[in-house]
Amino acid sequence: MDCDVLVVGLGPAGSGAAKAAAEAGAKVLAIDRKREIGTPVQCGEVIGRSLLKRSGLKLPPQAVASKQTHTRFIVDRSLDISNHGPQWASITVERKMLDKILAAEAAIAGAVVQADSTLLSLDMDGDIVRSATVRFRGVEKEVRPKVVIAADGVHSPVAKMTGVCWNTPDMVAHGGEFEMVAKRPLPRCMQIFLEEEVGLGYGWIIPKGRSRANVGLAEVGVRGQTRNRVQDWIDGNPVVSSYFDTESIIEVKTGDAPVPGFQGGPSIGNVLFTGDSAGQTLAFVGEGIIPAYMCGLVAGESAAKDPQSYDTRLRAVMGEELSYGGELKDAILGLWSDDSLTPSQKYTAAGLVMSEAIPPETMAALVEEGREPTPLELYRMIKKGGQKVKVKRLDI
């Protein structure tokens, strides 16, 4: 079986890539080992509205669960930082539905889309893939593509088969969450928790309407978030447990998210890597749905027109956002590993940077001076930065 472009994986990156390559005139085969695209969900399902707008993707109404006006950060169980800037307004999606619809759009654009089809091995001539062995619904077949797009997720089998690694283990966050029904109405905002009880990551309440939400946490470099760990955190956090009772869980979701920071459009020979397989997330929060889709579009168009141009095209389209996300992630990791700070100071400083209340360089200068900002200084800094941020003490 010959094709111009073989796309491995039909998450947002693979579907974007398959669609763009087909629209650019390539003969595309796109496969996913899942029997049902989008299932199981391994995601908090939230999308930042500004990036969504820039992507041009029109979310199908049936894939939208709820819309949030702002994001609230609860830091060290003592500070409430609400960012009302446009980048912190969000939409929660039903990933099962969204991924299926994106795969269908790739098929409508002319790609051959096959669920229940697994890439088993690659036959390489140096760096060049000559053929791929794929199991289509139980039957092994050989595919001879001109270009392969690896959109096969954080633990990319294609990366292993080609001997590269874009996501080192210390740059992968391990997450676990429950979809739950709330005991009382949820506010129309996403809530993010930075605190010692979570560790090097954050906890979240991502609403799916006023009475349902994804509730969980992710940590960098710590293997696996067990059901017990998530349950203990929910039960032990006074804000989270005021909304949720872990006796009532409607879905358990676990997974890994890459946060290496921007590495351009990595490739080897005739293989282009995109989405999580290339670590293309907003690294400081691990947001990857829309970044993967946008990077996938660039990979697909490049594969069809000029594979060598992938890195340059990607830097032009996504370089700014993904680099900024990587810089914030580095600043946050730097604060967490600064032994001159107490745990409380670490989480407070990281919360102020993650919420974009204070730029990383201002925070670094304060840390250098060895002190926390006073409320008046905070107010002045935030006002000067032009952010629509409100900060108040939390009494719990």
> In the bound complex, what is the minimum distance in angstroms from residue 141's beta carbon to ligand FAD?
13
What x/- string results for residues 242 through 261 when contact with ligand FAD is judged by CB under 6 A? -------------xxx----
Binding of residue 31 to ligand FAD (CB under 6 A): yes
3-state secondary structure of 177: strand
Q: Which has the closest alpha carbon to 151: 110, 106, 92, 108? A: 106
Sheet of 46-48, strand order: 46-48, 90-93, 64-68
Binding of residue 279 to ligand FAD (CB under 6 A): no
Alpha-carbon span 239 to 285, nearest angstrom: 21
Q: Which has the closest alpha carbon to 83: 392, 393, 394, 388? A: 388
Binding of residue 157 to ligand FAD (CB under 6 A): yes
Binding of residue 275 to ligand FAD (CB under 6 A): yes
Tokens for 72?
A: 């609230």
Instruction: Give yes or no for a contact between 14 and 115, defined as CB atoms under 8 angstroms apart.
Output: no
| Interface pick for ligand FAD out of 5, 8, 182, 341 (rule CB under 6 A) | 8
| Interface pick for ligand FAD out of 20, 22, 28, 43 (rule CB under 6 A) | 43
Nearer to ligand FAD, 115 or 239 (CB): 115
What does DSSP say about strands 70-75 and 189-194: parallel, antiparallel, or unpaired? parallel
Nearer to ligand FAD, 27 or 135 (CB): 135
The DSSP element (H or E) to which 386 belongs, if any, is none
Instruction: Give yes or no for a contact between 65 and 92, defined as CB atoms under 8 angstroms apart.
Output: yes
Binding of residue 281 to ligand FAD (CB under 6 A): yes
Binding of residue 105 to ligand FAD (CB under 6 A): no
Phi, psi (deg, nearest 5) at residue 260: -75, -20
> In the bound complex, what is the minimum distance in angstroms from residue 94's beta carbon to ligand FAD?
12
Nearer to ligand FAD, 205 or 331 (CB): 205
Catalog residues that contact ligand FAD under the rule CB under 6 A: 8-14, 31-34, 42-47, 118-119, 151-153, 157, 175, 218, 255-257, 275-276, 281, 286-289, 292
